[in-house]
Amino acid sequence: MSLLTVSGLTKRFGGVIANRDVSFAVASGELVGVIGPNGAGKSTLFDLVTGFQRADAGRVTLDGADVTRLRPDEIARRGVARTFQKLRPFSDMTVLENVMVGAFLRTADVAAAREAAHHALTSVGLADRVDAHARGLSTGQRKRLELARALATRPRLLLLDEVTGGVDQATIPGLVRLVRELHAGGLALVVIEHNMRVIMELAQRIVALQLGEVIADAPPSEIVRNPRVIDAYLGQAWRP
Ligand code: ADP
Ligand code: MG
């Protein structure tokens, strides 16, 4: 059985159909990429899966259980965590405190939350910045902070919205390595990513969206040869 199943998801914002009849599945431990032009509906898809937006139609299931109408905290408690395209750390809180916010999903005990946050920050390589204020971090470090906060909720499935978006070239390989480590540790991931080199390297399967619709769902080697994906997104550069 799939860990995550999305079937027929549709979401309208006024006249805009942000997601139209979107269906795909993610197996336990799988790493699935999501690509598509700006406005294709990628972030909306994450909003629907995590309960931040309510679908107009369709269903989301986790391990076969319907979670379509659950609140974000209920979905998080069932093991789905996400990061946001727009980073939003609590700037005046320390790095450790930011991550404790995630840990409090699983415990009300402050000492336990602190320990879980330490553990998560160590796993993303920020152990030496625990006492820094979040506003003092570089973009790459803030991406790691977001990851740590998500990991502190102890997810089975992690949704990453534009992992390398907005970071400089030199920072990308470290973030890619980190995502690969998380995947190797058994986590299932869905990764929205614009850098084709990165997503080709990471993903076992790629779902391509255009104007809210799935136009392809295939392994990376097939995605780059798919005429609809080339026309909608990749352009001529990737034509084999
Ligand atoms: P992507 O992440 O692929 O760039 P989005 O999911 O952010 O795309 O947006 C898909 C479409 O839905 C866009 O046309 C966008 O303007 C619209 N949209 C997304 N969120 C909202 C919202 N909260 N209110 C109104 N329109 C929205
Ligand atoms: Mg987006």
Q: Which of 16, 82, 233 to mutate to test the pocket of ligand 1 (most atoms within 8 A of CB)?
A: 16
Considering the domain architecture, whether residues 73 and 11 belong to the same structural domain is answered as yes
List, for residues 177-213, the tens digit of each pLDDT value: 999 999 999 999 999 999 999 999 999 999 999 999 9
The response to whether residue 89 sits with its C-beta less than 6 Å from ligand 1 reads: no
How does DSSP assign 153-175, residue by residue? T--SEEEEE-TTTT--GGGHHHH
Residues in the chain: 240
- pLDDT-derived band of residue 89, with 50, 70 and 90 as boundaries? confident
Contact criterion met (CB below 8 Å) for 9 and 57: yes
Residue 161's Cβ-count burial label (10 Å; 0-12, 13-18, 19+) is: buried
Considering the domain architecture, whether residues 195 and 179 belong to the same structural domain is answered as yes
Considering the domain architecture, whether residues 108 and 207 belong to the same structural domain is answered as no
Number of domain units in the chain: 2
List, for residues 15-51, the tens digit of each pLDDT value: 999 999 999 999 999 999 999 999 999 999 999 999 9
- pLDDT-derived band of residue 87, with 50, 70 and 90 as boundaries? confident
CA 172 – ligand 2 centroid, Å? 19
Q: Which of 135, 154, 173 marks a domain boundary?
A: 154
Give me the pLDDT at residue 2, please: 94
CA 207 – ligand 2 centroid, Å? 14
Q: Which of 121, 154, 187 marks a domain boundary?
A: 154
CA 44 – ligand 1 centroid, Å? 6
Provide the mean pLDDT of the chain: 94
Q: For ligand 1, what atom is nearest to the CA of residue 11?
A: 12
The Cα–Cα gap between 207 and 229 comes to 10
Considering the domain architecture, whether residues 58 and 164 belong to the same structural domain is answered as yes
pLDDT over 70 at 220, yes or no: yes
> Residue 166 belongs to a domain with what CATH number?
3.40.50.300
- pLDDT-derived band of residue 90, with 50, 70 and 90 as boundaries? confident
Considering the domain architecture, whether residues 49 and 168 belong to the same structural domain is answered as yes
For 224-232, what is the mean pLDDT? Answer: 92
Contact criterion met (CB below 8 Å) for 11 and 37: no
**Domain extent for 101:** 87-154
Other CB atoms within 10 A of residue 87 CB: 17
Considering the domain architecture, whether residues 128 and 161 belong to the same structural domain is answered as no
For 141-148, what is the mean pLDDT? Answer: 95
Considering the domain architecture, whether residues 103 and 172 belong to the same structural domain is answered as no
Give me the pLDDT at residue 92, please: 85
Q: Which of 12, 13, 84, 211 to mutate to test the pocket of ligand 1 (most atoms within 8 A of CB)?
A: 13
- Buried-exposed string 68-82: b where 16+ CB fall within 10 A, e elsewhere: bebeeeebbeebbbb
Considering the domain architecture, whether residues 57 and 19 belong to the same structural domain is answered as yes
Q: Are strands 157-161 and 188-192 parallel, antiparallel or unpaired?
A: parallel
List, for residues 95-135, the tens digit of each pLDDT value: 999 999 999 999 999 999 999 999 999 999 999 999 999 88
Q: For ligand 1, what atom is nearest to the CA of residue 209?
A: 3
List, for residues 150-179, the tens digit of each pLDDT value: 999 999 999 999 989 889 999 999 999 999
Considering the domain architecture, whether residues 22 and 38 belong to the same structural domain is answered as yes
Give me the pLDDT at residue 27, please: 97
Contact criterion met (CB below 8 Å) for 193 and 33: yes
The response to whether residue 42 sits with its C-beta less than 6 Å from ligand 1 reads: yes
- pLDDT-derived band of residue 239, with 50, 70 and 90 as boundaries? low
The response to whether residue 236 sits with its C-beta less than 6 Å from ligand 1 reads: no
Considering the domain architecture, whether residues 119 and 182 belong to the same structural domain is answered as no
The Cα–Cα gap between 213 and 222 comes to 18
Among 78, 90, 72, 168, CA closest to 133? 90
- pLDDT-derived band of residue 236, with 50, 70 and 90 as boundaries? low
Q: Which helix (H) or strand (E) holds 22?
A: strand 16-26
Contact criterion met (CB below 8 Å) for 19 and 41: yes
Give me the pLDDT at residue 102, please: 95
Considering the domain architecture, whether residues 67 and 179 belong to the same structural domain is answered as yes
The Cα–Cα gap between 91 and 75 comes to 26
Considering the domain architecture, whether residues 143 and 232 belong to the same structural domain is answered as no
Q: Which of 139, 154, 169 marks a domain boundary?
A: 154
pLDDT over 70 at 237, yes or no: no
